[in-house]
Structure 1
Amino acid sequence: MRAKEQELRGHGMGPWPQDGGGTKRASRRLLACASVGLALSGCATVDPTEDYDWAQREVASATGEDGFYRPGEEELIAERVDELLADGLTAQESVQICLLNNGEIQTLLFEIGVRKADVVQAGLLSNPLLAGAVRLPLGSGSTTTELRLVQNLIELWHIHPRKRLAQSQLEQTVLEVAHSSANLVAQTKPAYFSATSAAASLAAARENRDTAGAFLELTRERQAAGAATQVDVNAAHSESLEQQAHVRDAVYAEFEAKRKLALMLGIAGRPRDLELLDALTEVPEWSIDLERLVDLARASRLDLKAAAKNVDATWSALALEKRYLFRNVRAGISAEGEGGDVQLGPAVVLEVPIFDQNQAQISKAEFRHAQAQRRHVALEILVDQQVRGAFEQFTLAVDTARLYEDELLPLRRSSLELARESFAEGKTGFLSVLEAQSRLLRSRREYVNRLEAVAISVPALEAACGRPLPALRAASGGPQDD
């Protein structure tokens, strides 16, 4: 070789041919291959629109509402929220606003885009490696130039399970986001009914205050007629003042309940400005079947579906780890120029799995898969018990509210009327009237709380079953109308 170099130098030729020679052509081929790879990678885009649509469908199935936040639609959402708030707010409209305007739901939705990017990334090959070297002679030799372009070909074996894993994780994330959104909706309805209950409690407190005030006036009249003492007047006055204090407490309780509702709706401004249209006035007359609800929950709960997807994802991760015995098998072409000669041929770089055969990562993936399976089984049991608990809560709330409505409150009113009549006629003492009145006032407050318990138990049952109330009634064989 050195003799050849000396011969070339003797003819006045440098280490590379004047016209670029074969090495330049080889370099152009290498760069062309790299350009093709770069162009192909540029075709990959991240568009989570279909996944947003899927999440919206799942949320609609769980809540009965189609509206859902979409990134980039903030102005339209603000207009829609203003429309819903314009003429007062129903419980179902509060659900719509929550799905559109709740900041936590908006934050969760971007996680779908993150997972979609992971899916796109999983389908991409790693970039090829372009290596070059120039070795200058220390003595009279010629300059040697090397170029090498290699690609990790083992990724062709990895890419399918890698994409399958990323897709399973995306599907799991979509279901988890939908489940979290449905849970926030399930919290919004109780917040709404707590606010309406607070308003009803305020109305009841004012009614109790008026009742106590009327009794105070009656007692003063009896004192003027000589049928009551100052002790009786002081006791009636004390009761009246206590009811005034209850009114003040109820005013703040209403403000606080509306403030919490505004927070769930993502609304700034004065909470007292919220006008709530659905009052706590009725006890449901319909019934539902427990076992059918349990079956419906097993088929509908989004967290169960997400847990099943997690089992699939961990299985895909295990399959991928088993293929990672060989992580790097790079192959390509190599060109070397020395003097005027150019040599072109294949190049291979192989990672030999002598010390690390990925045993630990495979075992870790096996544990993760077994863990996901057990978590899914445990969640099935949890769902079963949550449905049964929510059903009992609903049944008890309805039965107790009906007891107050049909029996206890009418009895308290009748007792107070009789006591007042007897007191006015001088047949009954002051304490009998005061006791009857106190019992009625207490029962009124308790009845409002019972109605609130009924109203809150319905969204709790919806959340436990993963479906809205019309679907629950349909599953039990009843009409779907509220």
Structure 2
Amino acid sequence: MFSEYARRPGSGISGWDGRLARPNSGRDARTTRTGGRDARATRTGGRDARATRRLVCRFSLLLCVLAAVNGCARVDAQPQIDRSADLVEQRLGTRPAWSAPWDDAAPPWDAQSVLEIDAAIGLALRNNRELRAELEMIAQADADLVQAGLLTNPSLNFMMMFVPGGGKTMLRSAGFPSQALQDLWLIPSREQAARSELQQAVLRVADRAIEIATRVRKLHVRLQFGQAAVELVRQNMALVDQSVRLLQTRYSAGQATQVELNLMELRALRLRSELSAEQAELRALKREMLMLLGLAGAADVWQVLPLAGAELTLLPDDEAALWARAADERLDLQAADWRMRAAEDRLEMEKLAALPDLTLGFTFERAPARRAPVNRLGARVANAAAQGLVNGIEGGMPFPEVRPIVNEPREIKWTLGPMIDVELPIFDQNQAQVAKAASECRQRAAELEARVQEMILGVRQALLAAQQAGEQARLYRDEIAPAVQRNIDLAQESFAAGRESLAVYLQAQEDLIMARRKTLEYERDAIIWRAELLRQIGGGELEPGPRPSSEPRPQGSGS
């Protein structure tokens, strides 16, 4: 009976097969049709998901390739430092031992032995702290060049929105990193500007090295002449001591007065004071040299090679030729020119930066989904008991209903597409930065012209001073000093014989001391100004000028 009732249409129990079943077969049919549609949707969603995964994999592979290529950039400033060292070697004949980072090995000089000029220049180029700081500018400029060629890092965002009542959350993201495209037209101009700055840094460091080498050379000459000045004062003291002994003999014989003896002894005391001053100045020069060598705390007991004889070569007279050579050879002028080019490159970059920023990427979105059906056994039994109670209240058969396990698919929608982010240049068209870059171009051009003017003045002044010092040194060495020496010999002989007064003898002695000192000073100045002239024209050597005519040139005349 129960089975027949169960098989009856409209009995409330459809298709009884020995187990508890769901009533209302029409609803089951609709559920079956809906399940078919869900299955088809699931298959379609699966195909879309596979296509999405393929697209994601391809784009990710492209990003990995770009990251690998862009990540191969290396920062190595040593080749650029070697270029600067080559320029120094071409102009000085001495190659600096430079490295980055700086080599802190012990210097090859012990600060006690004799210091030669070549060793001093090499040590200064290797150990000078100012030059060490300048050398780091090359490393910084090289790093800026590498940085200028790098793409901007892509950006990635992710957003989650929770569904009220539970279920799949809504996801929204730029699923692939978005990339700014303005680098495509900005990188060439950025690289060109950074390359110009790097070239300027290389030239600036080389010029700074030549400047320091010139300072060392001039200071070495001053040290040589300082040592010679100390010896000269000692010679003058020996001459005065000889005169004091002679005057003491005459004083004992009653042929000289106490006043005359006191005058001679005072002269000896003044020479002792002069000797002390010369020694103090010599020590100060040594300490300045130690600072240039990067050894400011070392002792000053060392010596330089004694002066073998000043070489007073003739200098060229053609100032225009020297200007032209300086314009071609001066590294600071070349550095200023590259600095102006860098400003021009930055101007072009700012003009390109006025274009709107453009960012390209891909975005995806997953729509929210309802809560999944509950398929746990305890939950299904409880649902069946509750449904039976409801059926009994409504007048139906109060049989419990246990729903079968049904994996009803949930439709999850994914959307994927490109994303473009474009700047709207409404308020800022970069006109201020363009105007600033244009002003910088004019500033760098004016600085270059000012440096050219300084170069011309420096060449003219150094040439004039070197020529004047050379003429004076030759005059004192070849004419005045021999005449004064003959006069002191005659005055000393006449004074000893009583034919000349003490005043005449003292004047002759003063002339000899002054002539010796002036000869030494002019020879020193001639060598120093020659070194400065070489610095002003960019290094190298000077072609000897024409021999002077027999007619003396007026003092203070130029070329």
TM-score relative to the length of structure 1: 0.89
Give SS of 1:219's match.
Answer: helix
Higher relative contact order (CA 8 A, sep 6+): 1
Q: Deviations over 1:308-358 (max 9, x none)?
A: 111211111111111011252000111111242221110011111111111
Corresponding residue of 1:422: 494
Corresponding residue of 1:473: 543
Corresponding residue of 1:4: none
The answer to whether structure 1 residue 275 and structure 2 residue 303 are counterparts is: yes
1:177 to 205, 208, 214: 205
Corresponding residue of 2:529: 457
Give SS of 1:396's match.
Answer: helix
1:131 to 146, 149, 157: 157
1:388 to 460, 467, 489: 460
The answer to whether structure 1 residue 324 and structure 2 residue 353 are counterparts is: yes
The answer to whether structure 1 residue 218 and structure 2 residue 246 are counterparts is: yes
Query: Is the CA contact 2:77–2:100 (under 8 Å) kept in the aligned structure 1?
Result: no
How far residue 267 of structure 1 moved from its aligned partner, in angstroms, is 2.3
How far residue 57 of structure 1 moved from its aligned partner, in angstroms, is 1.6
**How many Å separate the matches in 2 of 1:178 and 1:301?**
10
Give SS of 1:357's match.
Answer: coil
**How many Å separate the matches in 1 of 2:433 and 2:264?**
78
Query: Is the CA contact 1:150–1:332 (under 8 Å) kept in the aligned structure 2?
Result: yes
Letter of the 1:357 counterpart: Q
**How many Å separate the matches in 2 of 1:94 and 1:68?**
13
1:42 to 60, 65, 71: 71
Query: Is the CA contact 1:280–1:452 (under 8 Å) kept in the aligned structure 2?
Result: no
Query: Is the CA contact 1:90–1:278 (under 8 Å) kept in the aligned structure 2?
Result: no
Instruction: Give aligned-pair identity as a percent.
Output: 28
**How many Å separate the matches in 2 of 1:261 and 1:255?**
10
Give SS of 1:381's match.
Answer: helix
Corresponding residue of 2:414: 342
Using the TM superposition, name which of 271-280 and 122-131 deviates more.
Answer: 271-280
Q: Deviations over 1:89-130 (max 9, x none)?
A: 222332222111212112211110000000000000000111
1:400 to 460, 472, 480: 472
Using the TM superposition, name which of 151-160 and 282-291 deviates more.
Answer: 282-291
How far residue 88 of structure 1 moved from its aligned partner, in angstroms, is 2.6
How far residue 301 of structure 1 moved from its aligned partner, in angstroms, is 0.4
Q: CA RMSD in A?
A: 2.8
Q: Deviations over 1:411-463 (max 9, x none)?
A: 22122111111111111111111121122112222222212211211221111
Letter of the 2:414 counterpart: V
Query: Is the CA contact 1:311–1:372 (under 8 Å) kept in the aligned structure 2?
Result: yes
Equivalent residue runs for 1:35-184 within 5 Å: 35-72=64-101, 74=103, 78=106, 81-82=108-109, 88-139=114-165, 142-148=168-174, 149-184=177-212
**How many Å separate the matches in 2 of 1:240 and 1:330?**
88
Query: Is the CA contact 2:314–2:546 (under 8 Å) kept in the aligned structure 1?
Result: no
Letter of the 1:158 counterpart: L
Q: Deviations over 1:216-272 (max 9, x none)?
A: 000001111221111111111111111111111111111111111111111255443
Q: Extract unaligned runs of 5+ from structure 1.
A: 1-6
Flag the 1:311–1:269 CA change in 2: closer, same or farther, 3 A.
closer
Q: Deviations over 1:133-182 (max 9, x none)?
A: 11112356742112212100121011111111110111111111111121
**How many Å separate the matches in 2 of 1:354 and 1:327?**
10
Query: Is the CA contact 2:228–2:306 (under 8 Å) kept in the aligned structure 1?
Result: no
Q: Considering only CA atoms, is the larger Rg found in Structure 1 or Structure 2? A: 2
**How many Å separate the matches in 2 of 1:73 and 1:358?**
41
TM-score relative to the length of structure 2: 0.77
Corresponding residue of 2:9: none
Give SS of 2:366's match.
Answer: strand
